Amino acid sequence: MAETLKRLRRRVRSVINVRQITRAMEMVAAAKLRRTQGILKAGRPYARKLQELLGRLAASEAASAHPLFEPREAGRTTLVVFASDRGLCGAFNSNLFSAAERYALERGREGLELYCVGRKSLAYFSKRGWPICGSMTDFSGNIDLERSNRLGAELKERYLAGHTDEVLLLYSAFVSTARFRPAVERFLNLEREALMSGAADRRPDRRAAIDYIFEPSVREVFDSLVPRYLQAKIYITFAEQLTSEHSARMLAMHSATENCQELRDSLTLRLNKARQASITKELLDIVGGAEALRG
């Protein structure tokens, strides 16, 4: 009985310590979530406006002559899979990996290569023998503009050099704190129809007839907008991914904290029952001894 009480007390202390850790991790994730969510909310209008302007210019001669608008047969595809550098975020990474495997199953593995962003993505696919053309890790849960621009430039160079015929981004799109879903979007090549339809969907009807005067010329404005659009696309993708990651980790740690509290209550109840049984047994032994002395 003494050994049982000692073991139960040790387990209660362990659960309390784990609860303190998960609670601290939940608070850290919540702080990071607020920061990245603010960046995401501030960046979305900028990215939408760039797409709207680029969509207006997509039918011009400058677009038809631009190499990034050149249509190609999708023989070689680069799928950029975004994942986290760290775990303890529930099924966040496994949902992304399942989405990548579903896409590969629908498309076929031939001609498909991966660019892994995040340690978990690189570790998962390298162990399973997937063709990996590059990787970028160690973001520590923070949005890095310099590395984001570097990734966009590297993917653009691979496309222009002919190493791939299309570049797709697979990431977790942030909908709300409790909802985020894997999404696959085209990065390269740029499609006129997609840009123009996206711009039309986001533009109010009352502004549909508005036209712009471009200075110094349509071509120069177009050549300036394309790299900015690609940089904004990658940056917003990072913001969506990291916001979803921090939200998933906050929810996972909140659930773990509640489970620790329930386990602590259950163990405390068992400990109290065991202690009460021990006290009762000792009292019965004392009473029994006293009765024996009287007799």
Domain harbouring 214, CATH code? 3.40.1380.10
User: What is the predicted pLDDT for the residue at 201?
Assistant: 52
User: What is the predicted pLDDT for the residue at 157?
Assistant: 92
User: What is the predicted pLDDT for the residue at 3?
Assistant: 62
User: What is the predicted pLDDT for the residue at 206?
Assistant: 46
Which of 141, 150, 117, 109 has the alpha carbon at shortest distance from 32?
141
Average pLDDT over residues 282-291: 75
Average pLDDT over residues 112-131: 94
Q: Is the peptide bond before 67 cis (omega within 30 degrees of 0)?
A: no
User: What is the predicted pLDDT for the residue at 99?
Assistant: 95
User: What is the predicted pLDDT for the residue at 209?
Assistant: 47
User: What is the predicted pLDDT for the residue at 170?
Assistant: 96
Phi-psi region of 154 (alpha: psi -120 to 50; beta: other; left: phi over 0): alpha
Which of 66, 68, 58, 44 has the alpha carbon at shortest distance from 197?
58
In this structure, what token pair is assigned to residue 173? 């799109």
Does the structure show a pLDDT above 60 at 199? no
Structurally, how many domains does the chain consist of? 1
Residue 183: φ, ψ to 5°: -140, 145
Q: Which of 89, 116, 133, 260 is catalytic?
A: 89
> Percent of the chain scored above 70 by pLDDT?
90
221/89 Cα distance (integer angstroms):
43
157/194 Cα distance (integer angstroms):
22
Instruction: Please state the length of the chain.
Output: 295
The model's pTM is: 0.84
Q: What pLDDT, in 10s, does the model give residues 46-77?
A: 888 888 888 777 766 666 777 888 777 778 99
> Percent of the chain scored above 90 by pLDDT?
50
Judge whether 89 counts as a catalytic residue. yes
Does residue 291 lie within any of the structural domains?
Answer: no
DSSP of 135-163: EE---TT---HHHHHHHHHHHHHHHHTTS
User: What is the predicted pLDDT for the residue at 236?
Assistant: 94
Does residue 265 lie within any of the structural domains?
Answer: no
Q: What pLDDT, in 10s, does the model give residues 217-268?
A: 777 777 788 889 999 999 999 999 999 999 999 999 999 999 999 999 998 8
Q: What pLDDT, in 10s, does the model give residues 131-145?
A: 999 999 988 888 888
11/20 Cα distance (integer angstroms):
14
User: What is the predicted pLDDT for the residue at 210?
Assistant: 55
Average pLDDT over residues 195-218: 59
Does residue 284 lie within any of the structural domains?
Answer: no
Indicate the helix (H) or strand (E) that contains 53: helix 2-57
Which of 195, 152, 173 has the alpha carbon at shortest distance from 49?
195
Domain of 84?
25-251
User: What is the predicted pLDDT for the residue at 32?
Assistant: 93
120, 83 Cβ separation under 8 angstroms: yes
Cβ partners under 8 Å of residue 71, min gap 6: 189
Does residue 14 lie within any of the structural domains?
Answer: no
Higher pLDDT, 57 or 104: 104
**HSE of 140, CA atoms in CB hemisphere, 13 A:** 2
Residue entry with tokens 């696959």 = 184
What is the spatial order of strands in the sheet that 112-117 belongs to? 132-136, 112-117, 77-82, 166-176, 179-188
8/276 Cα distance (integer angstroms):
14
**CA angle (193 as vertex; 189, 199 as ends), nearest 5:** 105
Q: What pLDDT, in 10s, does the model give residues 15-29?
A: 999 999 999 999 999
